């Protein structure tokens, strides 16, 4: 407008620019540290595009190997395999609108045939939140049942569990079997059903 004066464009002081870039650098270092931490936590799992595998197939195979004794479990012969399978069959996982039987994902679990999962039901867990919750609850259920019936198997199980955990978004399973970290009504119900179901 005639007779008006334009306000001078504000400028950043050298100190402000320095603090801005310093803050950005700190954030980048934090992200890098988290990435290194996650990489170390899940060390051992390597994706091979020439030989793709489904980590939950490896979960079923690892449990079967322990049940059949191909991977030794330093535990007395107290029918832990049968008790583990009873625990799994009586467990509950996330489902549509409510928790439902884990048998939706378990095809077979017994000392003779081992542990067979319907892992195809979990193949879209990266993009389907419900499948992600089912996958996470399955890892929690296996960890829970092993911790109660074959605690000696947990160190072997932990690596396989972590590999599958790495491919399951927003999953808070503790593969070491530290049950005090598990939370939520569903898992309390899962534990109660799994215990009282096969104890009855």
Which pairs with CB-CB distance under 8 Å and at least 24 residues apart come from 71-80?
71/156, 73/150, 73/152, 73/153, 73/156, 74/152, 75/150, 75/151, 75/152, 75/153, 79/111, 80/149, 80/150
- Evaluate if pTM is beyond 0.75: no
Q: What is the largest CA-CA distance in the chain?
A: 98
Cβ pair 49, 169 in contact under 8 A: no
Tell me the pLDDT tens digit for each residue of 1-17. 555 555 555 555 665 55
pLDDT over threshold 60, residue 77: yes
pLDDT of residue 35: 41
């Amino acid at each position: 407008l005639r007779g008006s004066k334009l306000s001078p464009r504000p400028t950043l002081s050298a100190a402000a620019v320095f603090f801005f870039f310093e803050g950005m650098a700190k954030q980048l270092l934090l992200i890098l540290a988290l990435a290194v931490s996650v990489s170390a936590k899940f060390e051992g799992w390597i994706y091979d595009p020439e030989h793709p595998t489904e980590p939950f197939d490896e979960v079923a195979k690892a449990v079967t190997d322990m049940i059949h004794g191909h991977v030794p479990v330093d535990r007395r012969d107290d029918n832990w395999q049968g008790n583990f399978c009873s625990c799994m069959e009586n467990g509950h996982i996330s489902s549509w609108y409510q928790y439902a039987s884990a048998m939706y994902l378990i095809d077979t679990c017994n000392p003779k045939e081992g542990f067979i999962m319907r892992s195809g039901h979990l193949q879209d867990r990266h993009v389907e939140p419900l499948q992600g919750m089912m996958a996470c609850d399955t890892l929690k259920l296996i960890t829970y049942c092993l911790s109660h019936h074959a605690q000696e198997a947990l160190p072997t199980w932990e690596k396989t569990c972590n590999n599958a955990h790495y491919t399951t978004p927003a999953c808070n399973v503790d593969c070491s079997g530290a049950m005090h970290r598990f939370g939520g009504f569903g898992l309390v119900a899962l534990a109660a059903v799994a215990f009282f179901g096969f104890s009855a």
